[in-house]
Structure 1
């Protein structure tokens, strides 16, 4: 008795992967998963933003240290962030949740988000913004400024700026 195996190519379609959207909707839509309070912005105009501690820890080594060591943030589940605007932090938080490349429309915002990404060691966001800076904003008029900025925040494109100009 012999057994024959048929070669079959699967024809059953699979839905597109939706894990990022699923995680985001669960975290944003359920207060139970928003287990940390972020007090963002200057003290006179700060905004309270709820977030998910696990997502912050998974995406930022700085947040991981905050919540894993014996720092006040671990005990209170509250983080004061006074040196970032609310708008910038929402860009950072959206990236933390979705990994989507931010659509930033001006040089100042891109520079600010690079500074924030550097502070929280979110390297992928920093690199994405750096590429956007290089692609859309580098010119002869601002090459000196961007070179100094690149040097200050250890951006990889500083060598490109030196070679090009």
Structure 2
């Protein structure tokens, strides 16, 4: 195993708070409002300067060497606890505090010396502070003392909610008996006034919460109806599209039926008087291509200028000529076609010719 050399991270800074240590260079003298000394806390300017810009500025403005700083306001316990926490980082020295006044003092000290995160830590401790029958009156006195100080507004709000919760779970007789033992008439009046005010506020808050809950329920119902409406709208759009498609199909079907009716009417009309030239079964085949050899007496014409070979002779038929199919010549290979312009010619290949019924 690699050997390890000692470094400053291994040092327990709490040892510097030992009364036997003579390395301190600042002594905080804690005094009350009557200038009565409550106690002294020894510390080190360099270490505190690392944590507090306010203390750093104060130390730099004072003479070098050991100095004495007089602190008025906080309790000795609260200031001693602050220094202990700054040296150890042990939050239990704060969370174990049972006196609410000391927590108010710590909150004020953290703000005064601009100790980063101190106010949030104290608010967390106050939020978990246990209120009971023994400390209830003392908590109320703390709220009365600090409720009009802007700095302590958050702490007082937290404690007010905790007091309200405590009152809900306890009988009025329990705290009224404690108030009777108090000789401070002004405090008793303040407590009764505040409890009534908080009770009304609690009822109002409960009413607001009920209204908010009702509003949320109505809003949810509205959102559900809105969603159903949107779904119905989408279904309606789909139905509309389907209707338009069906309408288009119906129009197309009607058009097809109309065409079929026209064709049927023509076929019926044609059946009454069929074409005697092409003898088409359902309609006249005028202009349609011949398939095979046409029958005797059928009139035909070329679809365009057309030629065909017969006995090695080329027969040319103009596009504007027409003729009538005559009798079949024995051994000729095809019938005679009597052309209007070309005259009679034997034809054994009717490719390129069409019916001429009109």
> Within 1, Cα distance between the matches of 2:125 and 2:149?
13
More strand by share: 2
1:52 aligns with 2:13: no
Change (3 A) 1:54 1:109: same
Please give the per-residue CA displacement for 1:30-76, whole angstroms capped at 9, x wherever unaligned. Answer: 634211111112222242322111122112222111112x2x46576
How far the C-alpha of 1:149 sits from its partner, in A, is 6.9
What number of residue pairs does the alignment pair up?
Answer: 143
1:109 aligns with 2:102: yes
Counterpart of 1:65 (choices 54, 57, 66) is: 57
How far the C-alpha of 1:106 sits from its partner, in A, is 3.2
Computed over aligned residues only, the root mean square deviation of the Cα atoms, in angstroms, reads 3.9
1:35 aligns with 2:25: yes
How far the C-alpha of 1:156 sits from its partner, in A, is 9.0
Change (3 A) 1:97 1:111: same
What is residue 93 of structure 1 aligned with on the other side? 83
Please give the per-residue CA displacement for 1:60-112, whole angstroms capped at 9, x wherever unaligned. Answer: 222111112x2x46576221112222111101111111122112223222222
> Within 2, Cα distance between the matches of 1:39 and 1:73?
17
TM-score for the superposition, normalised by structure 2: 0.33
TM-score for the superposition, normalised by structure 1: 0.65
Return 5+ residue gaps in structure 1 as ranges: 1-9
Counterpart of 2:70 (choices 57, 63, 80) is: 80
Check conservation: 1:39, 1:78, Cα contact below 8 A.
yes
> Within 1, Cα distance between the matches of 2:41 and 2:126?
28
Partner SS for 2:57: helix
Change (3 A) 1:131 1:66: same
What is residue 23 of structure 1 aligned with on the other side? 13
Partner SS for 1:33: coil
Partner SS for 2:36: helix
1:124 aligns with 2:114: no
Change (3 A) 1:20 1:91: farther
> Within 2, Cα distance between the matches of 1:73 and 1:149?
38
> Within 2, Cα distance between the matches of 1:100 and 1:156?
22
1:152 aligns with 2:151: yes
Change (3 A) 1:149 1:105: farther
Check conservation: 2:78, 2:103, Cα contact below 8 A.
no
Whichever of the two has the greater Rg, that structure is 2
